[in-house]
Amino acid sequence: MTGSSSRANANEASLLRVFTIPESDESTLSRIEKQMSEDLNGFLEQQIVAVQKPLSEIEQDFADSCIPEEPMWVSDYSDKILDTLIAHSVHTSSPRFIGHMTSALPYFLLPLSKMMVGLNQNLVKVETSKAFTPMERQVVGMLHNLVYQRDAAFYDQWMHNVDGTVGAFCSGGTVANMTALWAARNARFSAEGDFAGIDQEGIFAALKHYQYDGIAVVTSTRGHYSLSKAADLLGIGRRSFVAVDVDENNRIRVDELARTCRELADNNICILAIMGVAGTTETGNVDPLDEIATIAEQYGAHFHVDAAWGGATLLSSQYRGLMRGIERADSVTIDAHKQLYVPIGAGMVLFKDPQISTAIEHHAKYILREGSKDIGVHTLEGSRPGMAMLVHSCLSIIGRQGYELLIDKSLANARYFAELIRQDEDFELISEPELCLLTYRYVPSHIKRFLEGASEEVRAHINGLLNVLTRMIQKTQREQGKSFVSRTMLTPAAYNGADIVVFRVVLANPLTTPEILRDVLIEQKAIARQQLESLAPIEALVNGG
């Protein structure tokens, strides 16, 4: 349905054209494609509206619940989504978008993505993926090697093995974490005597057979929400998800972890898994993995490390040590669509011992037959695209050395920004950047000084008001569309466990410059001064006191 007139009746000849005749170079869609290919950032800056429209207004363009009856010309469709969809999307690759874990992408991924889609391989089975199967296994193997550094003989034996897998590719960290916990659960409650295994008989029978009074999954209060979601999904229950307090650096308190485990064991609760976090989503801190590993061993618990975001740090010789102990984990989650600079939709779970993957193995008569190398035998998902190709290309083209430069640059950027915040008397650094993530808030210097001498009660009151202010600044800055930081709520030890709303910044975009970082703070100050409604009650208190 290429052409310029606005409507076309469905007829077979014109319909088959969309499958057989490519877009002409002069078509609207080709022009858009050319612009994006030549200058993605320029295209997005030009197309995405600067001042944001409220979501409720955007929804008006997507209000019709009927599948359009008649076909539409590709050109008309392209014009339409340029105005309604692209114009109101988020410029996630902008160097000024430093609020989330998405970043700029290497240019070569654009044509490669098109290639991936054009090939339309389905990774569930060899019959619909052929070379994509060994390619994906290699990508997972390379990441396994990055974490576990086993010898060549290990990878020769396991990387392309039928009887197990060193890991599984999936759409993202959430599915990776679920897959890890699923494997851990099934391996722990495996067949024994009359009991056919939890995969066959379910949790109810498993607990009865193994005579436990319950199951627990332990992590810190900073663990990602996908972990408790996994506990729900897997039938363990969110309450079985035990959150241990963190220290002043947002790392799990090992003494508390040990105490919790002892208590659970005393109460005949099976400690199914302990989940370490290597790069918490909110503050970017890394749990003491080595010490957690020792406790996990003591209780025979599966040790999982959620390194969805921080795992890429292993590529830097200088910072690899921050992950010490990760090689003792039974399973590790790493997202390629975070610090490996791959588009959204690429996560991995890695298994220290490939044989644990047999705990979640499944077969069917028409595919995934016994003895096949079909990857779908060991994945939570079924049909899956060839995203691993994009990871493969980045690992090959950027190389370990290239990633090292990127990681080191991100951490240097974060340290620079932390220094900027510390030097500005109107800001307060809440969490130091251990990796390239930090949190802070805006507190004018005179309020800071007042807080120091204030009573606990007054401090709590002012912190509450500052929370409102922080929220308003973040929201206004986002709506102004020049730059974006995110926000979250922490309970820092230094604030006696009070809820503190903070700005959250992730500095993984290699194109983010010191100038941009300075601008972010300048803009926030300017917005703050206009937030009279939020500021007035604070000033009243300060002046009244």
C-beta of residue 325 within 8 angstroms of C-beta of residue 292 = yes
From candidates 215, 261, 429, 430, binder to a second copy by CB under 8 A: 215
From candidates 383, 445, 513, 530, binder to a second copy by CB under 8 A: 383
From candidates 3, 79, 87, 210, binder to a second copy by CB under 8 A: 87
From candidates 187, 272, 286, 398, binder to a second copy by CB under 8 A: 398
Strand partners, 139: none
C-beta of residue 219 within 8 angstroms of C-beta of residue 274 = yes
Helix segments in 39-131, DSSP class H: 40-47, 55-60, 74-84, 109-119
480 Cβ contact list (under 8 Å, min separation 6): 50, 51, 523, 527
From candidates 96, 98, 121, 508, binder to a second copy by CB under 8 A: 121
Part of the chain binding a second copy (CB under 8 A), chosen from 294-302, 364-372, 412-420, 461-469: 364-372
Distance separating alpha carbons of residues 145 and 138, to the nearest angstrom: 10
Residues 85-97, buried b or exposed e (16+ Cβ, 10 A)? ebebebbbbbbbb
Q: Least distance in Å: CB of 355 to a second copy?
A: 18
Name residues contacting a second copy, limited to 413-472 (CB under 8 A): none
From candidates 45, 46, 89, 297, binder to a second copy by CB under 8 A: 89
Name residues contacting a second copy, limited to 229-288 (CB under 8 A): 229, 231-240, 281-282
Strand partners, 119: none
The answer to whether residue 144 forms part of the interface with a second copy (CB under 8 A) is yes
From candidates 204, 259, 268, 419, binder to a second copy by CB under 8 A: 204
Name residues contacting a second copy, limited to 524-543 (CB under 8 A): none
The answer to whether residue 475 forms part of the interface with a second copy (CB under 8 A) is no
H-helix or E-strand spanning residue 303: strand 302-306
Part of the chain binding a second copy (CB under 8 A), chosen from 50-58, 257-265, 284-292, 296-304: 50-58
Phi-psi region of 22 (alpha: psi -120 to 50; beta: other; left: phi over 0): beta
Q: Least distance in Å: CB of 198 to a second copy?
A: 7
From candidates 203, 243, 265, 458, binder to a second copy by CB under 8 A: 203
Among residues 134 and 537, whose Cβ is nearest to a second copy? Answer: 134
- Note the Cα 395 to chain centre separation in Å: 19
SS3 labels along 378-396: HCCCCCCCCCHHHHHHHHH
- Residue of 174, 57, 111 whose CA lies nearest to 393: 111
Part of the chain binding a second copy (CB under 8 A), chosen from 294-302, 391-399, 421-429, 517-525: 391-399
517 Cβ contact list (under 8 Å, min separation 6): 98, 413, 416, 417, 420
The answer to whether residue 64 forms part of the interface with a second copy (CB under 8 A) is yes
Part of the chain binding a second copy (CB under 8 A), chosen from 362-370, 413-421, 428-436, 458-466: 362-370
| Ordered DSSP codes for 313-331 | GGG-TTTGGGGTTGGG-SE
- Interface with a second copy (CB under 8 A), residue total 184
Distance separating alpha carbons of residues 460 and 375, to the nearest angstrom: 54
Among residues 140 and 421, whose Cβ is nearest to a second copy? Answer: 140
**Contact track, a second copy, 300-339, x by CB under 8 A:** ---------------x-------------------x-x--
The answer to whether residue 515 forms part of the interface with a second copy (CB under 8 A) is no
Distance separating alpha carbons of residues 71 and 11, to the nearest angstrom: 10
Q: Least distance in Å: CB of 466 to a second copy?
A: 17
- Note the Cα 251 to chain centre separation in Å: 19
Half-sphere exposure of 225 (CA within 13 A, CB side): 1
The answer to whether residue 355 forms part of the interface with a second copy (CB under 8 A) is no
C-beta of residue 188 within 8 angstroms of C-beta of residue 403 = no
C-beta of residue 311 within 8 angstroms of C-beta of residue 334 = yes
Name residues contacting a second copy, limited to 492-511 (CB under 8 A): 504, 510-511
Q: Which two tokens stand for residue 34?
A: 């050319």
With tokens 């430069």, the residue in question is: 405
From candidates 3, 79, 113, 415, binder to a second copy by CB under 8 A: 113
The answer to whether residue 84 forms part of the interface with a second copy (CB under 8 A) is yes
Among residues 94 and 450, whose Cβ is nearest to a second copy? Answer: 94
From candidates 96, 98, 167, 174, binder to a second copy by CB under 8 A: 174
Among residues 113 and 294, whose Cβ is nearest to a second copy? Answer: 113
- Residue of 267, 164, 188, 181 whose CA lies nearest to 224: 181
The answer to whether residue 371 forms part of the interface with a second copy (CB under 8 A) is no
From candidates 96, 98, 147, 159, binder to a second copy by CB under 8 A: 159
E strands in 468-509: 486-490, 500-506
Q: Least distance in Å: CB of 532 to a second copy?
A: 25
CA distances from 483 to 50, 92, 389, 479 (A): 10, 10, 32, 9
The answer to whether residue 400 forms part of the interface with a second copy (CB under 8 A) is yes
The answer to whether residue 478 forms part of the interface with a second copy (CB under 8 A) is yes
Q: Least distance in Å: CB of 453 to a second copy?
A: 30
From candidates 68, 193, 371, 544, binder to a second copy by CB under 8 A: 68
Half-sphere exposure of 7 (CA within 13 A, CB side): 4
The answer to whether residue 485 forms part of the interface with a second copy (CB under 8 A) is no
Q: Least distance in Å: CB of 407 to a second copy?
A: 11
The answer to whether residue 358 forms part of the interface with a second copy (CB under 8 A) is no
From candidates 3, 288, 345, 537, binder to a second copy by CB under 8 A: 345
